[in-house]
Structure 1
Amino acid sequence: MSPRREMADEQVETTGVDDHLARLGNQQEHDMGKLESFRRYPRACAWIIFAVWYVLLVSFENQASGNILGIPRFREDFGYLHDGTYVLHANWQSAFSGAPMASAIFGCLGGGYLADKFGRKLMLQVALVVSYAAIAIEFVATTNELFFGGKFLNGFATGCIATVCVSYIGEIAPLAFRGVATCLVGFSYTLGPLVSALIVKNTGTLPNRWAYRAVFCAQFGFAFVITPFIFFMPESPWWLASKDRDTAALRSLELLGYRGEDGYKRLSLIKQTLEKVRAETEGVTYLECFRATNLRRTCISIAPKCMQAFSGITFAASYATYYMQLAGYSAQKSFTLQIVQQVVSMVGSIMSWYFVDRVGRRNLTFYGLLALTVILLAMGGCATATTNKQAVEATVAFILLYCWMYNLSIGAVAFTVLAEVSTSRLRAKTVGIGLAVVNGLNMMWSFVLPYLFNPDKANLGAKVAFVFGGCSVLSLIYLWLELPETAGRTYEELDEMFMKAIPARKFKDFHPEAQVTDEKTKEEL
């Protein structure tokens, strides 16, 4: 063993902080590009993919709720006859969508707290078991009450999974790969719905209960793939280091591909980052997220996620198929268009992998939402001409365009901002707050939208786009004033800039002391 490694090993066993190694580790993060990060740390990238696959349980479950509303046999089994067509009771329709979001709030907040207390790995294992039970209940349900119970239980599991996975990905991703890694969460939210749409396309017109039960069979498939790997998943080195379990953190880093001196550099950087923010996160409770500089960070972290709810994604994701059928499209054609909708969403998400670093978090979020606002207003305008076939077709086209732009911009980047802006000691809790708030907002829309949208209620149809367009205008003002550019910044550098209260529009050009010191350390070698 080299003298430097012996010295580093001794440092890990005592204080866990070696300033020189931390400086080298920080500079090394800046020096590596995406391709080099992937080549150097393939294991970390593999576990990122695993966590992204885990999120499929969330995205599939979320979309399945909306997809089955468009299945005629589901409406026949769980609804009632209205003007010659089976429709769902508005209260049950709201409950199927809103109640899982309510339980997801508890899952997000509970998952954030328990993941900090017991670790990321254990919480994902528990959530997987709960999800298995919930899927089974949904599958066998023949009454509204039982189906509601399965959805409610699965909401808790998916809330926990989403919170822990986003935190985990943000903690194990190399700096150069962090933007892409967190955008992959957004990609997962397009892949799950695509699989759901393909299943509905092939089974949705069946005359029996397999028309909708086939959707839930796929959820078991996602869970089966996860199960054997969850036992070998490395615990987050950030969580282990925060518990002063430095030796275990070093082993975890080795499993993630940080071998030899790389592991000591990375651990020293983690420990130094945690120590610098310890004074402002001493209590490590949810209240700490709203004190001192953490208040600003919490607001910025969760803002893009909240804006998703106000930008109309609940309508586009859950009501597009239903709208197409009410507008005169056959069930089979509406299912085909739903697949097209998910494909263009996936294309947008894939494009975000390039633009999240090339354009930056701030610009991609702001100008993406600006484009969405224009699309929403145009969609609402077309929807006013309900008797014009071309106007109806244009409305459907705008829904597809919306899905593409949403997933290219705020649909993907919101996860990046959520994981990056929060301070290291409060990351899981901040992510939990963000996802809990957005679930609360989505729950509100899920109860309100049926009464605005349905033909037996206000019958606004796609004209609800005007409501979301107005909300998006207000969101744009906040983004312009408060959203900073975080691309290419290590967590230590972000901590320094927030502690110094650097204005959002000056983040991109600011040179933190940590970066200057790292460059000097590199020159001295």
Structure 2
Amino acid sequence: MSIAFDDKTKFGERAQVEVVDNDQTRTASTAARRMSRRGSVLNTTAAPPPNGVLVNSDRAYSVVAETIPEFPDLHDEMRENTEKEVSLGFFKGLKTYPAAAAWSILLSSSIIMEGYDTALLGSFFAFPQFNRDFGRPLPNGEYQVSSDWQAGLMNGAQAGSMLGLFINGYMCDMLGYRKTYFFALVMMVGAIFLPFFADGSIPILMAGQVISGVPWGMFQTLSVAYASEVCPVCLRGYLTTYANLCWVIGQLLSIGVLRGLLSTSGQWAYRIPFALQWIFPPPLFIGLLFAPESPWWLVRHGRMEEAAKVVKRLMSKKEAADEQNITNKLSEMKLTNEHEKALSAGTQYWDCFRGIDLRRTEVATVTWACQNLCGSAFMGFSTYFYQQAGLPTSQAFNFSLGQYALGFLGTIGSWVLMSYFGRRSLYIGGLVFLCLILIGIGGAGFAPPDAVVTQTKRQSGDVQVRVNQDASWAVGSLLLIFTLVYDFTVGPVCYAIVAETSSTRLRQKTIVLARMLYNIVGICNNFLLPAMLNPGTWNWGSKTGLFWAGICFLCIVWCYFRLPETKDRTYNELTILFENKVSARKFKETKVDAFRSKSIAVQQGFGLGDEKPSGGIH
């Protein structure tokens, strides 16, 4: 089938569309409905705007036009939906799409389980009863889990998580979000039995960590991708960054539970925290029974009627009462999907590294890796430095509670900052502040020691460590400030960037690849940081901050040149910007008009960027 457009059609005039199919010719007259206000998508002779025009690929749009006979009408409907969603603020967005926000919050809450357990295991290594049951005796008569097993337990969960990520990339594309989520929840419930009944067997505990890691890996990407697909543009940034808040909530709950069990003796000191994980799945199971499938997933699989029903459920009753609102939203999804199909060869993992998706994959993966490369792993060692300063263990735990409370406040504060500064500015600004804090931490390491601290529970028994207690106080306090800045900026904003830069057709697989790189960097951190801080190995102490300050600076350089601004952009607009290879520094200033066949992205008052546009300049 081919479609012929009248090149002489003028702005605001009636367009004649000739469709030729199986030697039968029929002419359809498309009314000039709303053309005088919006302009015609068939207008190819309109005067170009000043200062250059980035031209969208003619091939992509011709393929879409041949695929969809109602192409012109869909363009008008897509424009109407885009203008409406972008104009909505946060509160109007909640009022217009209340169910979308509610379902996103519910399904993202699964990340609380992972945040809870990751904080749990690391803290168990300081629990006397846990060490007695799973560790071995030290020369001083105490017990400790060996450093090899500690690393194995921490990294076993990471390895299982990477397997879960890989499985999720295929399963979600084939079965959808709801069925994949059900599978992960069932697996999570079963995996909890292993650590709960490990009974002093560290290999069984290790198996439990690996198996638990599989559903954790699935939750890591499911929640972010689902939120990005059910929420409108005005809510997308808030509800994708909610995933970071769930992490903080899980860690806060974990530290609170452990603080309450510090004086508990016997196996229940560590079995109760494991058992509490069974509290999370039941409400999620109930919610999933009623949760809608992602409408974008349904559109990608050609199930338009079901997608329409889901879109209606996500809207308020007043909004859904107007059928045109549902039609406009579906038109945006359908055209965006067809546009991306015309630009990419498929939806396999290797397609993430082809064409314009290569750059999108780079942005998503490196952005998430920067979360682990900016020194964030240092945050977990604030208690360590407070103990060096002479603070009792119970008080050090209290400071840990305060640290995660700051993270909670920081994530909520990031929602306000994002609405003013966007993603790119907030992310880079956060990295700059973190780099300065790390330099301060590293500088404290050069303070001359003024006290001797005895550290126990090591394989070699007691270790005498010379420290500067004032410097240790300073480092611990700087790490609290680091936590606040991190959760105001890099921590939550990363989730929005990763969800928005990936194409809709490759979203799951792109997020999976990004999280895999994050986990690989995390595994490296699990080996490097203890060695850097441990007096028995490298003994860098707080000078370690200088190393991470250098790595953080490299992240800043990459972000300045490669990280684009995605605030207030629809997925179709982002596709056009990536297709035209707009410089990351000019994403924000580039005006995108996705509703003309030739004049697609307009840049006003500046050059076209560092990269040559695929469509050229008219």
Deviation digits for residues 111-146 of structure 1 (CA, Å, limit 9, x no counterpart): 122111111111111000111111221222222111
CA distance in 1: counterparts of 2:369 and 2:273, whole angstroms: 28
Contact 1:419 1:427 in 2 (8 A): yes
CA distance in 2: counterparts of 1:331 and 1:515, whole angstroms: 62
Contact 2:244 2:492 in 1 (8 A): yes
Deviation digits for residues 309-359 of structure 1 (CA, Å, limit 9, x no counterpart): 111222323x44345445543221121111011001111111101111211
Q: Which residue of 2 aligns with 1:523?
A: none
Q: Which residue of 2 aligns with 1:367?
A: 429
Q: Which residue of 2 aligns with 1:311?
A: 374
Contact 1:70 1:331 in 2 (8 A): no
CA distance in 2: counterparts of 1:94 and 1:463, whole angstroms: 22
User: Rg larger in 1 or in 2?
Assistant: 2
CA distance in 2: counterparts of 1:439 and 1:223, whole angstroms: 24
Output the TM-score relative to the length of structure 2: 0.78
- Structure 2 residue aligned with 1:47, among 79, 94, 103? 103
SS at match of 2:565: coil
CA distance in 1: counterparts of 2:302 and 2:179, whole angstroms: 18
CA distance in 2: counterparts of 1:321 and 1:458, whole angstroms: 20
Q: Which residue of 1 aligns with 2:606?
A: none
- Of 85-94 and 369-378, deviating more is 85-94
Contact 1:90 1:451 in 2 (8 A): no
Partner amino acid, structure 1, of 2:391: Y
Q: How does 1:438-517 map to 2 (within 5 A)?
A: 438-514=518-594
Q: Which residue of 1 aligns with 2:270?
A: 212
- Structure 2 residue aligned with 1:36, among 83, 92, 102? 92
Partner amino acid, structure 2, of 1:498: F
Partner amino acid, structure 2, of 1:353: W
CA distance in 1: counterparts of 2:577 and 2:496, whole angstroms: 18
- Structure 1 residue aligned with 2:509, among 429, 449, 452? 429
Contact 2:116 2:254 in 1 (8 A): yes
CA distance in 2: counterparts of 1:267 and 1:67, whole angstroms: 48
Q: Which residue of 1 aligns with 2:420?
A: 358
Q: 1:461 to 1:150 in 2, by over 3 A?
A: farther
Contact 2:114 2:216 in 1 (8 A): yes
Q: Which residue of 2 aligns with 1:232?
A: 290
Q: Which residue of 1 aligns with 2:81?
A: 25
Q: Which residue of 1 aligns with 2:184?
A: 127
**Displacement of 1:83:** 5.6
Q: Which residue of 2 aligns with 1:201?
A: 259
Contact 1:493 1:515 in 2 (8 A): no
Identity among equivalent positions (%) equals 29
Q: Which residue of 2 aligns with 1:7?
A: none
- Of 506-515 and 457-466, deviating more is 457-466
**Displacement of 1:515:** 6.7
- Of 456-465 and 194-203, deviating more is 456-465
Partner amino acid, structure 1, of 2:83: Q
**Displacement of 1:405:** 0.7
CA distance in 2: counterparts of 1:73 and 1:515, whole angstroms: 66
SS at match of 1:70: coil
**Displacement of 1:453:** 2.9
Q: 1:145 to 1:324 in 2, by over 3 A?
A: farther
- Of 325-334 and 234-243, deviating more is 325-334
Contact 2:75 2:595 in 1 (8 A): no
Contact 2:172 2:508 in 1 (8 A): yes
Q: Which residue of 2 aligns with 1:273?
A: 336
Partner amino acid, structure 2, of 1:488: D
**Displacement of 1:377:** 1.7
**Displacement of 1:86:** 3.7
SS at match of 1:424: coil
- Of 139-148 and 403-412, deviating more is 139-148
- Of 447-456 and 212-221, deviating more is 447-456
CA distance in 2: counterparts of 1:506 and 1:515, whole angstroms: 21
Output the TM-score relative to the length of structure 1: 0.92
Contact 1:205 1:332 in 2 (8 A): no
Contact 1:203 1:210 in 2 (8 A): no
Q: Which residue of 1 aligns with 2:135?
A: 79
Q: How does 1:276-295 map to 2 (within 5 A)?
A: 276-295=339-358
**Displacement of 1:215:** 2.0
CA distance in 2: counterparts of 1:497 and 1:333, whole angstroms: 52
CA distance in 1: counterparts of 2:296 and 2:89, whole angstroms: 22
**Displacement of 1:180:** 0.9
Contact 1:58 1:158 in 2 (8 A): yes
- Of 86-95 and 425-434, deviating more is 86-95
Deviation digits for residues 17-42 of structure 1 (CA, Å, limit 9, x no counterpart): 62222221111112211111100111
- Structure 2 residue aligned with 1:345, among 407, 417, 423? 407
CA distance in 2: counterparts of 1:54 and 1:261, whole angstroms: 35
Q: 1:516 to 1:370 in 2, by over 3 A?
A: farther
Partner amino acid, structure 1, of 2:331: S
Q: Which residue of 2 aligns with 1:376?
A: 438
- Structure 1 residue aligned with 2:114, among 16, 35, 58? 58
Deviation digits for residues 41-70 of structure 1 (CA, Å, limit 9, x no counterpart): 111110011022122122222222222223
Contact 2:389 2:473 in 1 (8 A): no
**Displacement of 1:148:** 0.7
Q: 1:315 to 1:96 in 2, by over 3 A?
A: farther
Q: Where do 5+ consecutive residues of structure 2 fail to align?
A: 1-30, 32-67, 450-466, 601-618
Q: Larger strand proportion, structure 1 or 2?
A: 2
Q: Which residue of 1 aligns with 2:41?
A: none
**Runs of 4 or more off by more than 6 Å in structure 1?**
14-17
- Structure 2 residue aligned with 1:112, among 169, 178, 183? 169
Q: 1:74 to 1:384 in 2, by over 3 A?
A: farther
- Structure 2 residue aligned with 1:174, among 193, 210, 232? 232
Deviation digits for residues 163-188 of structure 1 (CA, Å, limit 9, x no counterpart): 11111011111111111111111111
Q: Where do 5+ consecutive residues of structure 1 fail to align?
A: 5-13, 521-525
- Of 156-165 and 107-116, deviating more is 107-116
SS at match of 1:359: helix
CA distance in 1: counterparts of 2:70 and 2:302, whole angstroms: 8
Q: 1:124 to 1:384 in 2, by over 3 A?
A: farther
Q: Larger helix proportion, structure 1 or 2?
A: 1
- Of 371-380 and 67-76, deviating more is 67-76
SS at match of 2:125: helix
CA distance in 2: counterparts of 1:432 and 1:380, whole angstroms: 34
Contact 1:99 1:443 in 2 (8 A): no
Deviation digits for residues 248-288 of structure 1 (CA, Å, limit 9, x no counterpart): 11111122126232222111100110111102333210111
Partner amino acid, structure 1, of 2:443: G
CA distance in 1: counterparts of 2:314 and 2:70, whole angstroms: 19
**Displacement of 1:202:** 0.5
Alignment partner of 1:399 is 2:479: yes
Partner amino acid, structure 2, of 1:412: P
